[in-house]
């Protein structure tokens, strides 16, 4: 199962740690996000505790009007063993009881400067891409005039050599030999190279070539939407 750590989410979205720096290795396993309005009112019949818990202006305002004991009680009920992180949007500062409940249960508390809807979208997009199921295919993926073209076929027919000629003519390499594919959304398939093979292409008679070193950074890209398969 694919997982993302809270630290990776923090670094990707430039979030600020309010408390729990030592707990940033907690794992996020779903791209779904919860805005816990019902839970703050005391309704826990269905509480998706495994999700990122995102607090916007509405949730923050509701919390601020609760009594100290009420805040601590509800936040302790929200801070469960599988809850990965509490995040506040708009740079909002959480109440002390939020931090207390989070510390007691080893949950980091972060904040972002973006408005809640934008932060929600950014988190969702990042998690959907990172947590999407992945498959590995044999072939070569190149960016030709902005189109992702995957060249497939039997070993030795010249896929890498074809890709090299395209690179010489100003196009870009995404992956050679092994292509990792995952869905960004219902209609978009993304391909990339495994980390160990990034920027590399193997040519018969020459060996393994670092395309970035030989042709420059403009000759490679990290990932690309798949538009066409050529056999």
| 44 band by pLDDT with thresholds 50, 70 and 90 | very high
What's the pLDDT at 132? 86
Average pLDDT, the chain: 95
* Cα 134 to Cα 173: distance, rounded to the nearest angstrom: 20
The average pLDDT across 9-17 equals 97
The average pLDDT across 132-136 equals 88
**Over 80: is that where the pLDDT of 114 sits?**
yes
Query: What confidence tens digit (pLDDT) does each residue in 45-70 have?
Result: 999 999 999 999 999 999 999 999 99
What number of helices (H) and strands (E) belong to the chain? 8, 15
CA–CA distances in Å: residue 111 to residues 5, 87, 92: 16, 5, 7
The average pLDDT across 198-211 equals 92
For residue 37, what are the contacts with CB-CB under 8 A and spacing of at least 6? 58, 59, 62
**Over 70: is that where the pLDDT of 1 sits?**
no
What's the pLDDT at 140? 97
Nearest to 106 by CA among 124, 85, 89, 90: 85
Where do we find the tokens 């870009």? 172
CA 223 centroid distance within chain: 14
What's the pLDDT at 186? 77
Query: What confidence tens digit (pLDDT) does each residue in 67-110 have?
Result: 999 999 999 999 999 999 999 999 999 999 999 999 999 999 99
Q: Inter-axis angle of helices 68-78 and 96-104, to 10 degrees?
A: 40
Query: What Rg, from alpha-carbon coordinates, does the chain have?
Result: 23
The average pLDDT across 16-29 equals 97
Token readout for 188 is 């978009």
């Amino acid at each position: 199962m694919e997982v993302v750590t809270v630290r990776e989410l923090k670094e990707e979205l430039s979030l600020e740690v309010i408390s729990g720096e030592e707990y940033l290795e907690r794992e996020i396993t779903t791209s779904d996000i919860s805005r816990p309005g019902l839970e703050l009112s005391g309704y826990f019949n269905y509480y998706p505790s495994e999700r990122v818990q995102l607090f916007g202006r509405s949730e923050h305002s509701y919390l601020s009007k609760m009594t100290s004991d009420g805040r601590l009680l509800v936040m302790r009920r929200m801070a469960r063993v599988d809850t990965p992180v509490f995040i506040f949007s708009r740079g909002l500062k959480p109440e002390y009881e939020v931090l207390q409940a989070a510390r007691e249960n080893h949950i980091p508390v972060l904040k972002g400067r973006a408005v809640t809807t934008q932060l929600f979208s950014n988190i969702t997009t990042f998690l959907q891409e990172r947590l999407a199921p992945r498959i590995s295919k044999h072939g070569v993926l190149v960016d030709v005039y902005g189109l992702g073209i995957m060249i497939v076929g039997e070993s030795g027919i010249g896929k890498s050599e074809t890709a090299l000629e395209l690179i010489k003519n100003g196009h870009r390499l995404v992956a050679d030999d092994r292509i990792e594919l995952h869905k960004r959304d219902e209609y978009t398939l993304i391909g990339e190279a495994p980390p160990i093979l990034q920027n590399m292409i193997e040519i018969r008679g020459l060996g393994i070539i670092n395309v970035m070193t030989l042709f420059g950074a403009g000759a490679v890209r990290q990932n690309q939407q798949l538009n066409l398969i050529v056999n």
